[in-house]
């Protein structure tokens, strides 16, 4: 309009009522730069766009809607400053993510690789939000950015959860909720999942309400139906029994919760949010759920660290009794069945001493939950199980930082994986200070870790492989092609190749490579397989995939920046190592799939 002082007869912005002016300025077609320019035109518009006003709040909301949960309506916030801070945090996050591929392509991100992030000068939730924006980018581009954004987010969240766990452990025992402890373990092992105590508690509350409805039909005057039920324990055993009967009806009959006997060693059974989703678990996870509901209804159940099968106990005699026969024992895994001492022994098949019937603390419950996960991590030698082993060791050592056995296991794990040699030396030094009798094992690991560090220092730059070299003339396939294994039928993508098998004699013998027509004297390819594994395949065993599709491998972004629909594009770091492959891949794809269409 002509409204800031001209002689025209039209109506300008400044002539509009305040509410209508705000409505226009909050329009989503305007950007932050537009609002900045508008606010510089005159005093009226500057006041309409004041930093703490509705216009900048709406601009912030439109750009980053998930961040509003961090603010209260009563807060006096300079939305302009918050907008600038979030914008700058985004630029910083993008800079760090972009640097990770170049810095850490050829090795695991070292333990000090996140030092830039730990000293951020911006709110961590702003930084995390930008990482989530990167992860949620649509399409098949930005794979390398997504790969490293995921690693950084994993680290940030785990650091925050560890801090929360340590704060939890420092509270008085009566303020350590078993449910909260289970959620912290769940969060640490699944840091990229949307798990929070508030959501889990809401689901438990919903089950509790269902129990109250059943209880109301049996006893309309039951004290657990009172508005403040749970704050006061019910003293009468018969009234407590009514609660437990109603719980068993809801959990096991209506909602069909059950112990997971068929897939007992699945780690999902240990995660409380998965127990609620899948309605199945192992004795300890189901016991935490059962105990929490009972306490909310005024029945005090206590955890019992029974060997091989976690139980709860319910006092039938004088409160605090030390006589194990004054208690009934509850098997949450077995549909809430109530057991005598003798029946508990039948459950595991042997006699145990009285100490195993005693109550344990919340810290000891967490220790057992983490111990279960640790044992699961030891069962297999896969990337997924190694990650579980690393996470569970972190949790265990957060609770017991001077446990020599688990410190040694952590050092051996890092050594075996070939990661974080400097941290391995720190752990070994700590072990030696705690227990000098470990000097033999410590000395062995120190020697080999130092050798690893020296070899790493001697490494030159990346090996560059030119297809034009005479020694590479037999290499038929190139980086980024989607292949199929002729014998095993799996789909994969090539991310590296050698003109001949470069593995040792033992591997060649174990894999029976000499039985192949061309044996080890043919090109071999590093491939990422759709099942999440990495394999080394002979050229004669691979063929072009007639129906190329994305390979759902966790490391795909480490090597590739984009999936075109027919092949993968190598990222900058991989292209440096195979500079002539990109053009060959494009030519090959065009030749194969265009001829297929014809």
Q: What is the CATH number of the domain that holds 432?
A: 1.25.40.10
- Both 333 and 205 in one domain: the answer is yes
Q: Say whether both 341 and 211 belong to one domain.
A: yes
Residue 30: inside a domain:
no
Decide which of 320, 348, 366 is a domain's last residue: 366
Average the pLDDT over each of 169-183, 420-434, 447-461, 571-585 and give the range with the smallest value: 447-461
Residues 6+ apart with CB under 8 A from 470: none
> Residues 353-380, buried b or exposed e (16+ Cβ, 10 A)?
eeeebeeeebeebbbebbebbbebbeee
Q: Report if residue 63 sits inside a domain.
A: no
Q: What is the pLDDT of residues 130-174, one digit of tens each?
A: 999 999 988 889 999 999 999 999 989 999 999 999 999 999 998
Is 428 found in the same domain as 329?
Answer: no
**Residue 350, C-beta contacts closer than 8 angstroms, at least 6 positions apart:** none
Give whole-number Cα distances, 156 to 117, 152, 160, 191, 439, in Å: 8, 6, 6, 9, 35
Q: Is 184 helix (H, G, I), strand (E, B) or coil?
A: helix
Domain limits for position 562: 470-594
Q: Are 434 and 428 in contact (CB under 8 A)?
A: no
Lowest mean pLDDT among 104-118, 383-397, 410-424, 539-553: 104-118
Query: Distance between CA 217 and CA 213 in Å, rounded?
Result: 7
On whether both 230 and 301 belong to a single domain, the answer is: yes
* Last residue within a domain, chosen from 410, 433, 458: 458
Domain stops at, among 458, 493, 508: 458
Identify whether the C-beta of residue 521 lies closer than 8 Å to the C-beta of residue 546.
no
**Domain assignment of residue 261, yes or no:** yes
> How far is residue 483's CA from residue 119's CA, in Å, rounded to a whole number?
43
pLDDT at 59 > cutoff 60: yes
Residue 530 lies in a domain: yes
Please give the full DSSP string across 337-374, using - where no structure is assigned: EEE-HHHHHHHHTS---GGGGSB--HHHHHHHHHHHHH
534, burial (CB in 10 Å: exposed 0-12, middle 13-18, buried 19+): middle
Q: At what angle do helices 79-104 and 143-170 cross, to 10 degrees?
A: 110
Across 55-69, average pLDDT:
93
Judge if 210 and 350 occupy the same domain.
Answer: yes
Closest by CA position to 149, among listed 139, 136, 167: 136
Are 408 and 480 members of one domain?
no
- Residue 68 reports pLDDT greater than 70: yes
Say if residue 229 is in the same domain as residue 358. yes
- Measure the CA–CA gap between 183 and 165, rounded to whole angstroms: 10
Do 216 and 251 fall into the same domain? yes
Instruction: Measure the CA–CA gap between 291 and 213, rounded to whole angstroms.
Output: 19
Q: Using CA atoms, how far apart are residues 219 and 225, in angstroms rounded to an integer? A: 9
pLDDT, tens only, 521-570: 999 999 999 998 999 999 999 999 989 999 999 999 999 999 999 999 99
pLDDT value of position 11: 66
Q: Look up the CATH number of the domain holding residue 582.
A: 2.30.30.390
Asked, for residue 104, whether it belongs to a domain, the answer is: yes
Do residues 179 and 272 make contact, with C-beta atoms less than 8 angstroms apart?
Answer: yes
Q: Say how many domains are in the chain.
A: 4
Q: Has residue 54 been placed in a domain? A: no
- 316 lies in some domain: yes
Residue 361, domain member (yes or no): yes
| Domain co-membership, 86 together with 220 | no
484-491: average pLDDT: 95
């Amino acid at each position: 309009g002509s409204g800031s002082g001209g002689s025209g007869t039209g109506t300008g912005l400044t002539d509009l009522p305040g509410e209508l002016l705000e409505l226009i300025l909050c329009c989503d077609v305007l950007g932050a730069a537009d609002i900045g320019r508008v606010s510089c035109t005159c005093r009226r518009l500057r006041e309409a766009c004041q930093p703490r006003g509705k216009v900048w709040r709406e601009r912030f909301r439109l750009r980053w809607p998930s961040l509003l949960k961090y603010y209260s309506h009563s807060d006096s916030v300079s939305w302009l400053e918050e907008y600038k801070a979030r914008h700058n945090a985004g630029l910083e996050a993008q800079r760090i993510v972009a640097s990770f591929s170049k810095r850490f392509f050829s090795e695991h991100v070292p333990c000090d690789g996140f030092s830039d992030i730990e000293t951020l000068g911006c709110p961590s939730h702003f930084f995390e939000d930008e990482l989530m924006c990167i992860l949620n980018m649509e399409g098949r581009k930005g794979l390398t950015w997504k790969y490293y954004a995921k690693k950084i987010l994993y680290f940030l969240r785990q650091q925050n959860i560890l801090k929360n766990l340590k704060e939890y452990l420092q509270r008085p025992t009566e303020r350590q909720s078993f449910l909260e402890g289970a959620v912290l373990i769940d969060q640490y092992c699944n840091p990229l999942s949307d798990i929070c105590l508030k959501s889990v508690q809401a689901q438990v509350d919903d089950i509790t309400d269902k129990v109250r409805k059943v209880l109301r039909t049996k006893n309309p005057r039951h004290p657990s139906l009172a508005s403040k039920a749970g704050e006061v324990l019910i003293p009468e055993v018969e009234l407590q029994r009514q609660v437990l009967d109603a719980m068993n009806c809801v959990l096991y009959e209506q909602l069909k919760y059950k112990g997971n006997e068929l897939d007992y060693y699945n780690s999902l059974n240990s995660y409380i949010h998965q127990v609620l989703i899948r309605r199945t678990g192992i004795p300890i996870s189901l016991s935490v759920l059962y105990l929490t509901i009972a306490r909310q209804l005024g029945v005090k159940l206590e955890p019992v660290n029974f060997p091989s099968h976690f139980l709860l106990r319910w006092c039938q005699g004088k409160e605090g009794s030390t006589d194990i026969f004054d208690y009934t024992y509850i098997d949450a895994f077995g549909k809430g069945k109530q057991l005598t001492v003798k029946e508990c022994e039948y459950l595991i098949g042997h006699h145990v001493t009285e100490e195993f019937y005693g109550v344990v603390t919340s810290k000891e419950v967490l220790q057992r939950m983490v111990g279960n996960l640790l044992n699961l991590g030891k069962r297999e030698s896969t990337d997924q199980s190694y990650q579980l082993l690393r996470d569970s060791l972190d949790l265990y050592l957060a609770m017991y930082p001077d446990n020599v056995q688990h410190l040694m296991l952590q050092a051996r794990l890092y050594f075996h994986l070939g990661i974080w040699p400097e941290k391995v030396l720190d752990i070994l030094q700590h072990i030696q200070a705690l227990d000098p009798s470990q000097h033999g094992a410590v000395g062995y690991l120190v020697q080999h870790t130092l050798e690893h560090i020296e070899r790493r220092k001697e490494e030159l730059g990346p090996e560059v492989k030119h297809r034009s070299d005479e020694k590479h003339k037999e290499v038929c396939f190139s980086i980024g092609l989607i292949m199929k294994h002729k014998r095993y039928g799996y789909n994969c993508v090539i991310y590296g190749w050698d003109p001949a098998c470069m593995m040792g004699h033992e591997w060649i013998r174990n894999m029976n490579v000499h039985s192949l027509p061309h044996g080890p004297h043919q090109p071999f390819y590093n491939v990422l397989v759709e099942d999440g594994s990495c394999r080394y395949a002979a050229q004669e065993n691979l063929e072009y995939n007639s129906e190329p599709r994305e390979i759902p491998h966790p490391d795909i972004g480490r090597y590739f920046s984009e999936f075109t629909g027919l092949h993968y594009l190598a990222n900058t770091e991989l292209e440096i190592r195979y500079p002539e492959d990109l053009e060959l891949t494009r030519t090959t794809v065009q030749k194969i799939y265009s001829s297929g269409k014809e």
